[in-house]
Structure 1
Amino acid sequence: MSGWRRPAWWAVLLTLAGALLFLRLGVWQLHRADEKEALLRRYAAAQAAPPQDFAQALRAPAAGAFARVRVRGRYLADRVYLLDNPRHDRRGGAEVYVPLQLAGDERLLLADLGFLPGDGTDRAPQLPPLPAGEVELHGLYLPPPGAGFEMGGDALARQSRWPKTSIYLDLAEVARDLGRPLYPRVLALDADPASIYVREHAYDFSAMPPARHRAYAFQWFSFAVAAVAILVILHRPRRTPRMPDR
């Protein structure tokens, strides 16, 4: 059996660079998991907090926290938006958003009424009627779900009938469509057992939970180990064939 073969310098350098990169990505995923857990704790604390006046929450926003607010206004019931990106039910459905007109305020507040399950077809879910008068709403003042990359441009501008449907919620597009400025966040209404809507407003931090970040970290660490193992295997001692005795 011959001894270890000396690897080329570029092979050692490439392996070292790859292993360090994989380790760095794994550590980053662990940090993201910790950040996501902290975010979920703040979200849970906000859900249990007593609601504060919306105007007060805007004047004194809590750094790094979510605000549970109460607000009064009137629904623009003929301007409903459906986020056709269901995550709650295999039958399909949509997240329903309606602008809320606050008294004496030019800006509109987009209210997230919740998820409305479909009937298993491609038809939009049947929307229950909205109150015509002034309503008092309680909910979390949250960042909107991520807009992502929307191919084909502004889908709302190409639609002439309401409710309008999109696969992304872009507040800038909604504001242009309404011809009115919007608040930079949305009001995710509190859960209501009597409501037909499913209200689980975890948004983007439920799409990638801490456990998934840790799974990705394990994957990157495995790649680092594999890179070193491949270098070792390729340069391990090889058994030389024995010459037959004469």
Structure 2
Amino acid sequence: MVRVSRRRNLVAWWLLAVLVAAGLASLGFWQLDRMHQKQAMLDAVQQVLVQRSPRPLASAADAARARDYDWAAGGGSFVDAPPVLLDNQQRDERPGVRVYRVFQPSAPHATPLLVELGWLPLPGDRTLPPVPRPQGGLEVAGLLAPPPSHGIMAAVATPQAGGPLLATGLDTAALGAQLGQPSLAPRVLKLDPDLPLGYARDLDVLPNTLPPEQHLGYAVQWFALALAVLVITLLLTLRKRKPERTGP
């Protein structure tokens, strides 16, 4: 009876260990998948930036390419609508906001889109910076991209004193109504840093998020933990199977 009970305990421990190891390994595979996704994204962006074959700004509204990257250029003007300040944006280890404004392309029936004008720092009291609307007709160019990921947080935009919207994420469908627009293109334009317009900016599509190599590091950690669980369980099993010494 004692041996049967021990065997049952060992089986239960191994089942638990295998389940835990499988869960840890699944997290490792998820991190590897995220690594491959982000590396593919960076490769696609690099190809676009090398070629820089401009598409019309109206292509930002193409739902079939809502998750793709394109170089775009064209004329138009910034709409008299509140600026959108994307919160919790780091640059050079300083907290700040990314500034977006609605741009209306001059092409007939073109859907307006959000243009990222750049990054501005926030002081310790989090007083929002003034972001005047660029005036007149302008020629713009830049990288059409999906809005920055907001992770598990809800994409909420809250009106602030003075008119701007402070956002935790960019939900273009919801922002359209808040900005007085019938609709907004699903992609945003990351303004070319070489243009004499806006604020400090770059064409980084992974700001404030993990790069591929960091996902790889996390994957290795999860796989190592899964292996450690199995090794520890094996060592405890072998230890329990050692015959007990009787007598001198």
Partners in 2 of 1:34 and 1:163 — Cα distance?
A: 37
3-state SS of paired residue (1:236): helix
**Range with greater deviation from structure 2 (233-242 or 90-99):** 233-242
3-state SS of paired residue (1:188): strand
C-alpha contact 2:58 2:105 (8 A) present in aligned 1: no
Which residue matches 1:43? 45
Structure 1 gaps, min length 5: none
After superposition, the Cα gap between the structure-2 partners of 1:205 and 1:221, relative to the gap in structure 1 and judged at 3 Å, is farther
1:202 aligns with 2:204: yes
1:31 aligned to which of 30, 33, 43: 33
**Range with greater deviation from structure 2 (134-143 or 65-74):** 65-74
C-alpha contact 1:116 1:196 (8 A) present in aligned 2: no
Structure 2 gaps, min length 5: 1-5
3-state SS of paired residue (1:183): coil
Which residue matches 2:127? 123
Which residue matches 1:82? 85
Provide TM-score, normalisation by structure 1: 0.80
2:213 aligned to which of 203, 211, 214: 211
Question: What is the aligned-residue RMSD (CA, Å)?
Answer: 3.1
Partners in 2 of 1:154 and 1:55 — Cα distance?
A: 26
3-state SS of paired residue (1:230): helix
After superposition, the Cα gap between the structure-2 partners of 1:63 and 1:175, relative to the gap in structure 1 and judged at 3 Å, is closer
User: Could you tell me which amino acid in structure 2 is paired with residue 44 of structure 1?
Assistant: Q
1:176 aligns with 2:180: no
3-state SS of paired residue (1:97): strand
**Range with greater deviation from structure 2 (220-229 or 87-96):** 87-96
Partners in 2 of 1:62 and 1:143 — Cα distance?
A: 9
How far the C-alpha of 1:193 sits from its partner, in A, is 7.4
Which residue matches 2:149? 146
Provide TM-score, normalisation by structure 2: 0.80
User: Could you tell me which amino acid in structure 2 is paired with residue 182 of structure 1?
Assistant: L
How far the C-alpha of 1:174 sits from its partner, in A, is 1.4
After superposition, the Cα gap between the structure-2 partners of 1:179 and 1:126, relative to the gap in structure 1 and judged at 3 Å, is closer
Match runs of 1:227-238 below 5 Å: 227-237=229-239, 238=242
Partners in 2 of 1:67 and 1:47 — Cα distance?
A: 8
Partners in 2 of 1:56 and 1:174 — Cα distance?
A: 19
3-state SS of paired residue (1:93): strand
Alpha-carbon displacement from aligned partner over 1:181-204 (angstroms, at most 9, x marks no partner): 111111110112755622134344
Higher RCO, Cα 8 Å, sep 6+ = 1
C-alpha contact 2:116 2:189 (8 A) present in aligned 1: yes
Whose helix fraction is larger, Structure 1's or Structure 2's? Answer: 2
